[in-house]
Chain A
Amino acid sequence: MAFTAFSSQAVVEQAPRKRSFIALVLLLPGILYLVLFFLAPLISLVITSFQQPVLDGDVGEYTAGFQWQNYTDAMGEYWPLVLRAFGFAIIATVLALIISYPIAYFIGVKARRWPLLQSLLLTLVIAPFFISFLLRTLAWKQIMSDEGPIVQFLKTVAILPSDGHLTGTTFSVIFGLTYNFIPFMTLPLYATLERLDLRYIEAGADLYASPFTVFRKVTIPLSMPGIVSGTLLTFIPAAGDYINASRDFLGSSSTAMVGNAIEANFLVLQNYPIAAALSIVLMAVILIIVGIYVRRSGTEDLI
Chain B
Amino acid sequence: MAIASFADKGADLELVGITKRFPGFTAIEELDLSIPAGSFFALLGPSGCGKTTTLRLVAGLEEPTAGQILIGGKDVTATKPFQRPVNTVFQSYALFPHMTILENVAFGLRRRKMSDPVAKAHEALALVELDHLAARRPAQLSGGQQQRVALARAIVNRPALLLLDEPLGALDLKLRRQMQLELKTIQTEVGLTFLHVTHDQEEAMTMADTVAVMNKGRIEQMGAPEELYELPRTAFVANFLGQSNLFSGSVTASTADAITVDVAGVPIIVPRTRAKRHAGEVAIGVRPEKVSLLTEAPQPVAGRNVLGPGRVTDVSFSGVSTQYLVEVPGVGELIVFAQNMVFGPVVHVGAEVWVSWNADHGFGLDDDASAVPRFPADASTESIAIQRRIALEEELEQA
Binding site for B on A (CB under 8 A): 197, 199-200, 202-211, 213, 217-218, 221-222, 224, 301-303
User: B75: shortest Cβ distance to chain A, in Å?
Assistant: 19
Bound CA–CA A213/B107 (angstroms): 11
Q: What's the count of A-B pairs with C-beta under 8 Å?
A: 68
Chain B stretch 103-154: residues in CB contact (< 8 A) with chain A: 107-108, 111-112, 137, 139, 153
Bound CA–CA A295/B178 (angstroms): 42
Chain A residue nearest to B56 (CB atoms) is A202
Asked whether, in the complex, the Cβ of B98 is within 8 Å of the Cβ of A207, the reply is no
User: A98: shortest Cβ distance to chain B, in Å?
Assistant: 22
| B207-245 to A contact mask, C-beta < 8 Å, 1/0 | 000000000000000000000000000000000000000
**The one of A206, A210, A218 that contacts B87, using a Cβ cutoff of 8 Å:** A206
Asked whether, in the complex, the Cβ of B82 is within 8 Å of the Cβ of A203, the reply is no
Given A206-B59, A222-B98, CB of A213 within 8 Å of CB of B111: yes
Chain B stretch 40-90: residues in CB contact (< 8 A) with chain A: 59-61, 80-82, 86-88, 90
Residue in B61, B98, B108, B112 with the greatest tally of chain A CB atoms within 10 Å: B98
**The one of A199, A208, A217, A224 that contacts B94, using a Cβ cutoff of 8 Å:** A199
**The one of A199, A203, A206 that contacts B86, using a Cβ cutoff of 8 Å:** A206
Chain B stretch 328-346: residues in CB contact (< 8 A) with chain A: none
Q: Interface on chain B toward A: helix, strand, loop, or mixed SS?
A: loop
Bound CA–CA A210/B96 (angstroms): 16
- Residues in B whose Cβ lies below 8 Å from that of A222: 96-98
Chain B residue nearest to A299 (CB atoms) is B98
Given A205-B61, A206-B87, A208-B3, CB of A200 within 8 Å of CB of B82: no
- Residues in A whose Cβ lies below 8 Å from that of B180: none
Asked whether, in the complex, the Cβ of B111 is within 8 Å of the Cβ of A208, the reply is yes
Asked whether, in the complex, the Cβ of A207 is within 8 Å of the Cβ of B87, the reply is yes
- Residues in A whose Cβ lies below 8 Å from that of B95: 203
Bound CA–CA A150/B1 (angstroms): 46
- Residues in B whose Cβ lies below 8 Å from that of A205: 60-61, 80-82
- Residues in B whose Cβ lies below 8 Å from that of A208: 1-3, 82, 108, 111-112, 157
**The one of B1, B3, B94, B98 that contacts A203, using a Cβ cutoff of 8 Å:** B94
B92 at the interface (CB under 8 A from A): yes
User: A212: shortest Cβ distance to chain B, in Å?
Assistant: 10
Binding site for A on B (CB under 8 A): 1-3, 59-61, 80-82, 86-88, 90, 92, 94-98, 107-108, 111-112, 137, 139, 153, 157
Chain A residue nearest to B98 (CB atoms) is A221
Besides A208-B2, A211-B80, 15 more A-B contacts (Cβ < 8 Å) are A197-B94, A202-B94, A203-B96, A206-B61, A206-B81, A207-B82, A207-B107, A207-B108, A207-B111, A208-B3, A209-B107, A210-B82, A221-B98, A222-B97, A222-B98
- Residues in A whose Cβ lies below 8 Å from that of B81: 202, 205-206
Asked whether, in the complex, the Cβ of A203 is within 8 Å of the Cβ of B97, the reply is no
Residue in B82, B87, B92, B153 with the greatest tally of chain A CB atoms within 10 Å: B82
- Residues in A whose Cβ lies below 8 Å from that of B137: 301
- Residues in A whose Cβ lies below 8 Å from that of B98: 221-222, 224, 301-302
User: B1: shortest Cβ distance to chain A, in Å?
Assistant: 7
- Residues in A whose Cβ lies below 8 Å from that of B60: 205-206
User: A242: shortest Cβ distance to chain B, in Å?
Assistant: 38
User: A262: shortest Cβ distance to chain B, in Å?
Assistant: 40
User: B170: shortest Cβ distance to chain A, in Å?
Assistant: 14
Given A206-B59, A213-B111, A221-B98, CB of A199 within 8 Å of CB of B157: no
User: A11: shortest Cβ distance to chain B, in Å?
Assistant: 10
Asked whether, in the complex, the Cβ of A202 is within 8 Å of the Cβ of B61, the reply is yes
Bound CA–CA A200/B60 (angstroms): 15
Chain B residue nearest to A220 (CB atoms) is B98
Bound CA–CA A176/B95 (angstroms): 42
- Residues in A whose Cβ lies below 8 Å from that of B90: 199, 202-203, 206
Bound CA–CA A210/B107 (angstroms): 12
Bound CA–CA A303/B1 (angstroms): 32
* Selected A-B contacts with CB under 8 Å, 20 pairs: A199-B90, A200-B94, A203-B90, A204-B107, A205-B80, A206-B81, A206-B88, A207-B87, A207-B107, A207-B111, A207-B153, A208-B3, A209-B82, A209-B107, A210-B80, A211-B80, A213-B111, A301-B137, A302-B97, A303-B139
